[in-house]
C-alpha cells in the first residue's frame, strides 16, 4: 500500500495564522482602550479670586435652564444673539461678573452663560451662589 | 496496490488571507497612532460641551460628579459631607515654591449648578486654589 504522504522536507512557508491571532488581539486591545475624546478645560471659581483693588461686581442671575437672565435690571436670554454685549458695554472693563444660579439650572447652562459672558468681553466670571427659591 | 486519494494542501492556501491582514494592520496602525490610551473611570458621565482651552497633559487629580450628585475620586465613592475632609487630607502642605494644587472636575452636564457650587466651595475650603472643569468641544447632540 502506498500512502501519499507529503515529505517532511517540503517547506510549506510561514504560517500566517499565529500572526493573525496576535494582530487581532492587538487590534482589540487598541480598539477597546483608545479614547478619541478631546478633553478641554474651563477654569472655575466659587468665589472671586482677586483680593486687592475695589472692583465693580455685576450680579447676573441665571433663572431658568432655558437661559433666562436678569442682570443690571435687564431681562435677557442666552438664546438671543448678542444678548450680553449690551450689558457688558455698559460696565467697566475690570468688572467682575458674579453668576447666581437658580436650583433648577444645569451645569451646561451655567457654562453656556460663562462662555457667553467671556465672548462678550467679560474678564472675570465666577459662580457666586445659589438663588433661594421663591414660593 | 491501492492508492488512497489524498488532497495535498497547497502551500499557497493562505493567500486569500493577505487582504484581510492588510486591512487589520491598517486598522491597528490607525488606532495606535490616532488614539490615546486613557484609564477609564467606569462612570456614566455625560460631560458638558464648551469650546475653550485644550486640557493639559499634566497629571492631576480628577473628581467625577455624576448627574445625581454622586462623587468619585481615586476610585472611591464619597458622600458630599466626606468630600472636604478627604480633599484636605490629600492637600498636604507643600514647599512654598511648589505649584498650587490643581483639581480637575469631570461633572455631568445635567448636574444642577447648585450642587456644582456646593462642591466648589468644599474644594476651595480644602485648599485647592486652581479648579478646572473638564468639557468636550462641540455642541450637545
- pLDDT above 80 (res B56): no
* Average pLDDT along chain A: 80
User: For chain A, what's the residue count?
Assistant: 135
A54-83, pLDDT tens digit by residue?
578 888 899 988 888 888 888 888 888 677
Mean pLDDT of A79-98: 82
Residue A48 is predicted with a pLDDT of 58
Residue B74 is predicted with a pLDDT of 84
Residue B102 is predicted with a pLDDT of 82
Minimal Cβ distance to A34: which of B9, B37, B123: B37
Distance CA A2, CA B123 (A): 85
Residue B99 is predicted with a pLDDT of 65
Q: Tell me the whole-structure pTM to 2 decimals.
A: 0.70
Residue B108 is predicted with a pLDDT of 92
Minimal Cβ distance to A3: which of B4, B51, B54: B4
Share of chain B above pLDDT 90, in %: 11
Long-range contacts of A85-94 (CB under 8 A, 24+ apart): A85/A120, A85/A121, A87/A58, A87/A120, A88/A117, A88/A120, A88/A121, A88/A122, A89/A121, A91/A56, A91/A58, A92/A56, A93/A121, A93/A123, A94/A53, A94/A55, A94/A56, A94/A123
The dihedral of CA B16, B17, B20, B21: what is its sign?
negative
The cell for A62 is 441665571
Distance CA A80, CA A96 (A): 22
Query: Which DSSP helix (H) or strand (E) runs through A40?
Result: strand A39-44
Residue B41 is predicted with a pLDDT of 65
Mean pLDDT of B85-106: 74
CB-CB under 8 Å, B137 with A38: yes
Q: So what's the ipTM on this one? A: 0.70
Query: CA distances (Å), B19 to each of A20, A27, B24, B102, in order?
Result: 12, 16, 9, 49
Mean pLDDT of B51-74: 79
Closest alpha carbon to B52 in A43, A126, A125: A43
CB-CB under 8 Å, B3 with A110: no
Residues of B in contact with A107 (CB under 8 A): 48, 107-113, 116, 133
Closest alpha carbon to A111 in B62, B140, B48: B48
Mean pLDDT of A104-124: 87
Amino acid at each position: 500500500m502506498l500512502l501519499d504522504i507529503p515529505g517532511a522536507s517540503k517547506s510549506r512557508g510561514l504560517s500566517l495564522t499565529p500572526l493573525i491571532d496576535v494582530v487581532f488581539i492587538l487590534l482589540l486591545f487598541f480598539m477597546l482602550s483608545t479614547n478619541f475624546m478631546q478633553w478641554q478645560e474651563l477654569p472655575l471659581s466659587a468665589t472671586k479670586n482677586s483680593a486687592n483693588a475695589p472692583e465693580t461686581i455685576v450680579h447676573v442671575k441665571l433663572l431658568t435652564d432655558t437661559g433666562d437672565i436678569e442682570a443690571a435690571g435687564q431681562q435677557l436670554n442666552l438664546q438671543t444673539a448678542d444678548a450680553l454685549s449690551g450689558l457688558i458695554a455698559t460696565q467697566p472693563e475690570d468688572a467682575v461678573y458674579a453668576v447666581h444660579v437658580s436650583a433648577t439650572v444645569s451645569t451646561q447652562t451655567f457654562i453656556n452663560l460663562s462662555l457667553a459672558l467671556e465672548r462678550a468681553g467679560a474678564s472675570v466670571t465666577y459662580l457666586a451662589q445659589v438663588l433661594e427659591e421663591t414660593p | 496496490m491501492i492508492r488512497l486519494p489524498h488532497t495535498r494542501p497547497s502551500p499557497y492556501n493562505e493567500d486569500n488571507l493577505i487582504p484581510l491582514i492588510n486591512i487589520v494592520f491598517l486598522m491597528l496602525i490607525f488606532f495606535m497612532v490616532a488614539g490615546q490610551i486613557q484609564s477609564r473611570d467606569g462612570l456614566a458621565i455625560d460631560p458638558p460641551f464648551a469650546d475653550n482651552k485644550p486640557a493639559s497633559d499634566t497629571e492631576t487629580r480628577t473628581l467625577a460628579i455624576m448627574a445625581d450628585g454622586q462623587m468619585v475620586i481615586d476610585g472611591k465613592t464619597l458622600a458630599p459631607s466626606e468630600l472636604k475632609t478627604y480633599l484636605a487630607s490629600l492637600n498636604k502642605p507643600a514647599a512654598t515654591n511648589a505649584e498650587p494644587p490643581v483639581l480637575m472636575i469631570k461633572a455631568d452636564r445635567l448636574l444642577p449648578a447648585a450642587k456644582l457650587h456646593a462642591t466648589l466651595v468644599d474644594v476651595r475650603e480644602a485648599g485647592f486654589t486652581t479648579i478646572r472643569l473638564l468639557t468636550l468641544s462641540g455642541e450637545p447632540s
